[in-house]
Amino acid sequence: MLAVALGCNPVNPDNGGGNGNGNGEGQGEGQGGDTQPETGEKLAGITYQLNVYSFADSDGDGWGDIKGITQHLDYLDGLGATALWLSPIQTSASYHGYDVLDYSAINPKLGTEADFKDLIAKAKEKGIDIYMDYVLNHSGRGEWFNSAIASESSPYRSFYVLSGNPTADVAAGKVDNYGGAKTPGMGNWYTAAGGDLGYKGRLHFKLDWAKKTITVTETTAAAQQSNPSANKWLWIGSAGLVGLYQTGSDTHEITIDVDTDWGFLVRSSSTSWDNGTKWGGNGTSLTFGQPYSINSSTAADITFGGSSIWYFASFDKSMPDLNYGPYANASASPAFKALAESADKWINMGVNGLRLDAVIWIYQNQAAANASFLKQWYDRCNQTYKARGGKGDIYMVGEAWEETSKIASYYQGLPSLFNFSYWWTLKDRISKGKGDDFAKTVLWFRAQYKSHRADFIDAIKLSNHDEDRAGSDLGRDIAKEKLAGAVLLTSPGKPFIYQGEELGYWGTKSGGDEYIRTPIKWTRSGSVPTASLSGKVDNAMLSADISVEAQSASESSILNVYRAFAKARNGYKALAQGEMKEVQAGNAAIAAWTMSYDGQTVLVVHNFKPATVSASLGGYKLSYIIVSNGICSASGATVTMSPYSSVVYLQ
C-alpha cells in the first residue's frame, strides 16, 4: 500500500477519507488490477549523490568513510534509492578526490577495499547499485605524472599533454588534447620542472623597455620597497603590484623579496589589465642572469621553472590533463588503456555504473571529439560489465555542464547526461510563480536528447556538489524546496538527490566549496564529521531540528516529503518510467502533465505560486491520490491547491 499524503485532503471519501496532515496511508487499496504497486519493489532509478568524505563517519576521525555509508543503507533505502553515486574514493591529494593519484587504490582515509566490497554486497541486498565517480579529464600529480615529467623514456610520458614549446606546438596543431581546436577552451600551460613554477627568495629585476627584455638575478643586496610613483610595474605572487625605479632612460629596476608559485608579469599601467598594458612571456621559463624577451600579445606568465617541459591543465595546475592522443583512436592510447584497466577492477568488484567528471574538457569543448572518446570509453567498460555478467548495460552518466542545446550531441557517446538546464528552468519558474510552460520545456529537452539517442536516460537533478545549494537558490524557503523535490520525483528521467537536499540544506560557494558539501546531521545531539572540510560548516544548519532524527519524527518535514514522493515513484510504473504529456490547467501557476506506461497513467499537478490557485482538469479522474504535499481539494473538474502544493492522481 503506497498511497501517501502529506497534508492533502484526498478528494474521494470512498478512498479512505482525508487524513488532513499525516503521512497517511488511508487512501484505500481498492484500485485493483495491475495498477497496484508491489510492496518492496523499486521501479524508479532514483540515485542518491553523496560525498563519501562528509556523509557519515564510522570511526570518529572526522572524515566520512565507506563504512559510514554501509551503516546508513537503511536511510538511503528509505529515500527510495536504487543507486548511490559516490564522490571519488581513490587516493588523492585533496579532500574532494577529484585529483586522483592512483586510480586502482582506495584513499585510506575513506576505508579499504574490504570495506568497499562489503558496501557493494550490502547495498545489493537492498536493491541499491554503486556508481563510482571517474575522473578522466585529468589526474592528480601522482606517480604517473612525476615519472612522465622526469624522463623522456618514462612509460607514462604520453599520458599527459606535454610540450617543449607550447606556442609552436599549438600553432602546428600538434596538441591532440585540443581536439582540433587552435586554442583551448579553458586552461593553462604550466612548467613541469620539479612541479615548481615559482620562486621564494630575493631577486633583482632589470627591465629594458627599449629592448623589451627583463633580466632577473638572484641577489643578497638589500631589498627595496615598491615605488609608488613608478611608471612600470611587476605583478608578482603574494606581493601583487610592485613599482620599479627608473635607473636610465629606458631601464627600470628593483630588488625585492619574492614569494610566488606562478611566476610574474610586467605591466605598463598600474590599473589596466588590457593587452598592451600587460606584458609577459611566450610560454618558456626565464634563466637567471639572461635577458628574457617580453611581449604583450601572448603575455603568458613568466615562470622560474627553468624547465624545457610544459604541461597543460584545464582546471588547475594540481590537475594535469590526461592525453588520449587523436580522438578517433583514443582507445589505443596508453593512458586510455591504463584508465580502462583500473575501471575493470572496480566493475569486476561489482560497481554497476560510472559518473564521468568534466567530459566537455577531455577534448577541450570539442563536442564531436568528446562524444567519440566517450563512446570508446563506454563500449570498453560495458564489455567488462557484460563479461562479468552484469544485468543489462552498465550505467554511465557524463557531467557536461552546459545548457541542453549544447550538450545533446554528447548522447552519441553516452547513455546518460546530467540535465543542468532542468534545474536552471525549475528554479527560474518557481521564482516567477509560473508553472504552465514547465512540462513543455522538459519535453523540449527530451526531444533534443532523443534526436541523438533513442534510449537516452535524462539524469535530472536539482543542485550538486559544485553548485550553490538548491536551498539557497530557493531563498531557504522550505515550501519551495518541498515543491522542487516533488517536481524532481514526478518528472520523467532518472532523478538524482544530492546529499542534504532532502533535509533542506543550504549553502553557497562564496565562502568555499566546503559550504555546499556539509555532512549529514544524523541525530539531534550527535556531532558531525567536519575534519575533511577543515571545519568549514555552517553550524546554523547543523541544528537539532534539521537532523535526520528530528525530521523523521515530523510528518511535515521536507525529508518526509522526499520519502513520500520517492515511495510513490518506486511504486507506480507510470511515475517511474512513464512517457510525459503536457496538460494545460487553465492557470499560469500550474505545472501539470500525465505520465503513462504499460497501461497505467497518472496525472501530476504542481502549484508554482505562493498563493492558493485553481486548476481546471476536466476529463481527468480526481478521485485517487497517490501522493501529495500541501492542501489540494477537488470539486468537479476543479482542483484548488495551496501555495507550492503538489498532487498525483491515478487515472
Which residue's CB is nearer to Mg ion, number 115 or number 169?
115
Element (H, E) at 131: strand 129-134
Which residues 6+ apart lie within 8 Å of 102 measured at CB? 90, 91, 142, 143
Q: What is the CA radius of gyration of the chain?
A: 28
Give the shortest CB-511-to-Mg ion separation in angstroms: 24
Taking the complex as a whole, the smallest distance from the CB of residue 109 to Mg ion amounts, in Å, to 7
Q: Closest CB to Mg ion among 110 and 489?
A: 110
92 vs 260, beta carbon nearer Mg ion: 92
Q: Give the interface with Mg ion as residue ranges (CB under 5 A).
A: 57, 59, 61, 63, 65
SS3 415: coil
Query: What is the distance, to the nearest Å, from the Cα of residue 249 to the centroid of all Cα atoms in its chain?
Result: 54
357, 436, 467, 514: the active-site residue: 357
Cell numbers found for residue 626: 497517490
Q: How far is the CB of 61 from Mg ion (least distance, A)?
A: 4
Residue number, 448 or 532, with CB nearest to Mg ion: 532
Which residue is closest to Mg ion by CB? 65
Cβ pair 523, 548 in contact under 8 A: yes
Instruction: For residue 538, give the C-alpha cell.
Output: 555552517
Containing 154, the helix (H) or strand (E) segment is: none
DSSP for 556-622, written as a single string: TSHHHHHHHHHHHHHH-HHHHHPEEEEE--SSTTEEEEEEEETTEEEEEEEE-SSS-EEEE-TTS--
Cell readout for 362 is 577531455
From 133, 321, 344, 399, active-site residue: 399
Q: Residue written as cell 550490502?
A: 122
Strand extents, DSSP E, 237-371? 240-243, 245-246, 251-260, 264-267, 278-279, 292-293, 310-313, 353-356
Residue 628 pairs in a beta bridge with 5, 647
The order of strands in the sheet holding 646-650 is 23-24, 4-6, 625-629, 646-650, 600-607, 590-597, 579-583
Q: Across-strand partners of 416?
A: 397, 457
Of the two residues 52 and 580, which places its CB atom closer to Mg ion in the complex? Answer: 52
Query: For residue 291, is it left (φ>0), alpha (ψ between -120 and 50) or beta?
Result: beta
Task: Name the residue nearer to Mg ion (CB basis): 110 or 343.
Answer: 110
Least distance from Mg ion to the Cβ atom of residue 70, Å:
12
Angle between helices 334-349 and 113-125 (to 10 degrees): 50
Residue (of 447, 193, 168) closest to 308 by Cα position: 193
Asked whether the beta carbons of 196 and 219 are under 8 A apart, the reply is no
CB of 526 to Mg ion, least distance (A): 14
Nearer residue to Mg ion within complex by CB, 16 or 64: 64
User: Minimal distance in Å, beta carbon 63 to Mg ion?
Assistant: 4
- Which lies closer to Mg ion via its Cβ, residue 119 or residue 338? 119
Beta bridge partners of 647: 605, 628
Q: How far is the CB of 115 from Mg ion (least distance, A)?
A: 10
To Mg ion, the closest distance from the beta carbon of 59 in angstroms equals 4
Please tell me the distance from the alpha carbon of residue 310 to that of residue 184, in angstroms, as a whole number. 15
Is 57 annotated as catalytic?
no
The nearest distance, CB 529 to Mg ion, in angstroms, is 6
Q: Which is nearer to Mg ion, 63 or 324 (CB)?
A: 63
Cell numbers at residue 305, please? 621553472
Helix, strand, or coil (residue 628): strand
Is 399 considered catalytic here?
yes
Catalytic sites, residue numbers: 357, 399
